[in-house]
Amino acid sequence: MNRFLDNTGFHAVGRCLSRKGVGEIDVRGLLQFATELVFSERLVISGFEIPSIKECSEALRSILVDDMGLEPEAINIAPYEAPEYGKACEEAGKTLFTDLRYLSRELLSPPQVPPEALKPYLPPENQTLAEMIYNLVTKQWDQSKLQEIARDSLKPNGAGSVPYTLLKCPGMLEQVRTMAGDRNWSPKTCDNLIAAVRCHINAELAKEKNCAYSPAVARAELLRKANRTMVECLAMITVDAARSLLPRMQELPHIGDALIKNAKGDPKGVISEAITFRSRAAELRAYLAKRLRAYQHGTDDWCDAVSREGTRLARALQVELNPDEGPRLRDAIQLQLLPPFFSIDPGSLDKWAEHRRVRRHVIVLAGMAKAIAFGSNKPHAFKKLVDECCSAKRLAYDGTRAESVHSRTTPDAVSGKLLGSRSSDVYHYRECAVARRIAKSRLVEYESPPSGKRLHKGCPS
């Protein structure tokens, strides 16, 4: 029940929380993350990245844990050693090599989604990878130079994972060159190829941590990947249960509808709802972790186990939503005219006891199904969420805290080291999120701690 997320998908959540989303594709990523938060035991993200990417992910994790109350063990930024990461790149190259013939049209066409949705946050000085790959594919290099590029590609951490993968897999670079020669290829079309390579690398990294890989929404659509894991199974049976409660639903239901219901268009509200449902789903996650622990993720036995548990939970969920259809204790008791005046039917008693055990595991699913079917969502609820997530979409997500989006004054615009309000006895460091919300008309700058005022507890927050 552990899920491996790529930094790209995780940063889409950050853009939404900072109101800097790049459209519906990011909002769908937010809902995907929130769903995984409910049903996954732990979310794992690669920490073998260049500093800008890793720092961005750490800042977002800090927001979720420190500001929103998510338990720290729910998200883990996992370390990888260079040999371990290099092995994942080589294995990814072998898989991608066989997939290229089926993905040539998608990979060599201009991106159909905003380029930001296909890659993690990169500062301007690091946004040259597409041009580097373009030159690698279109120009002729002597063998010694290619060996040098491959040797230095993973320095710093993961910076050149794409060229490393293309060069370490025999025949890969030649096949890409052949595909590129058949079309008008440009650096912009390299974004798709880069996303495909990183997606395959992450799938291998997930295997090393025994996790199911959940690619960013944009990458999943590019590669036509449909996840078939326990999380998707739980989402599917919950949506099916919602349809059974309200067969004439006008809108096509989605598991995300349960999370949007009380969020009121606020992306932070979506995460808060997910954290609430996560606490209710603790018993379900523990039960499934125990049932699936004996199987290696992705094997046929594991898939069979997921199917069995999904069927069992779906039946229990239907009974929970329609109590008259379920076994009752009185059905196991048969009255008699002679002493002892009653008898017990063992079969019926076992069914009732099993129902009582399973019921604990599906209560959270029943709550989500009811929220989907009977919630006060209107057709524009998703659109409102998109508008809120993208209200500052012209800015790139840079790892700043979500509260800074609502700033009414910009600390960078003032020269003082400390900030405060005329009407408050508290002062702040200029980078504090609370200081960013002080109205400009009341803002005061200080070069040193002002007398009669105290430092904001926990500053900077």
Weakest mean pLDDT among 79-88, 304-313, 320-329, 353-362? 320-329
- The two beta strands, 418-421 and 342-344, are unpaired
Which one has a higher pLDDT value, 153 or 206? Answer: 206
> Could you tell me the pLDDT band of residue 412, with boundaries at 50, 70 and 90?
very low
Q: What is the pTM of this model?
A: 0.76
Q: How far apart are CA 321 and CA 329, in angstroms?
A: 18
pLDDT mean across residues, the chain: 80
CA dihedral 279, 282, 284, 286 (to 10 degrees): 170
> Could you tell me the pLDDT band of residue 358, with boundaries at 50, 70 and 90?
confident
Which one has a higher pLDDT value, 58 or 399? Answer: 58
Q: How far apart are CA 287 and CA 230, in angstroms?
A: 12
**SS3 assignment for the chain:** CEEEECHHHHHHHHHHHCCCCCCHHHHHHHHHHHHHHHHCCEEEEECCCCHHHHHHHHHHHHHHHHHCCCCHHHEEEECCCHHHHHHHHHHHHHHHHHHHHHHHHHHCCCCCCCHHHHCCCCCHHHCCHHHHHHHHHHCCCCHHHHHHHHHHCCCCCCCCHHHHHHHHCCCHHHHHHHHHHCCCCCHHHHHHHHHHHHHHHHHHHHHHCCCEEECCHHHHHHCCCCCCCHHHHHHHHHHHHHHHHCCCCCCCCCCHHHHHCCCCCCHHHHHHHHHHHHHHCHHHHHHHHHHHCCCCCCCHHHHHHHHHHHHHHHHHHHHHHCHHHCCCHHHHEEECCCCCCEEECHHHHHHHHHHHHHHHHHHHHHHHHHHHHHCCCCCCHHHHHHHHHCCCCCCCCCCCCHHHHHCCCCHHHCCCCEEEECCCCEEEECCCCCHHHCCHHHEEEECCCCCCCEECCCCCC
Task: Please tell me the number of Cα atoms within 13 Å of 409 on its side-chain side.
Answer: 22
Read off the pLDDT of residues 78-103 as tens digits, 9 standing for 90 and up: 989 888 999 999 999 988 888 877 77
User: Does residue 112 have a pLDDT over 90?
Assistant: no
Q: How far apart are CA 271 and CA 260, in angstroms?
A: 9
Which one has a higher pLDDT value, 326 or 311? Answer: 311
User: Does residue 189 have a pLDDT over 60?
Assistant: yes
Residue 325 pLDDT: 63
Q: How far apart are CA 90 and CA 93, in angstroms?
A: 5
Residue 409 pLDDT: 31
Question: Nearest 5°: phi and psi at 109?
Answer: -105, 155
Residue 330, token pair as written in the block: 């009185």
Weakest mean pLDDT among 116-125, 317-326, 392-401? 392-401
In angstroms and rounded to an integer, the radius of gyration of the C-alpha atoms of the chain is: 26
> Could you tell me the pLDDT band of residue 397, with boundaries at 50, 70 and 90?
very low
Residue 121 pLDDT: 78
- Give the Å distances, CA to CA, from 321 to 34, 77, 244, 318: 24, 38, 9, 5
Q: What type of residue sits at position 82?
A: A
All structural domains of the chain with their residue ranges = 2-222, 230-375, 407-455
Q: How far apart are CA 304 and CA 395, in angstroms?
A: 45
Residue 276 pLDDT: 92
Cα 304 to chain center, whole Å?
A: 25
> Could you tell me the pLDDT band of residue 127, with boundaries at 50, 70 and 90?
low
Q: How far apart are CA 459 and CA 336, in angstroms?
A: 74
The rounded percent of the chain whose pLDDT value lies above 90 is 19
User: Does residue 401 have a pLDDT over 50?
Assistant: no
Q: Which residue has the tokens 């993200």?
A: 45
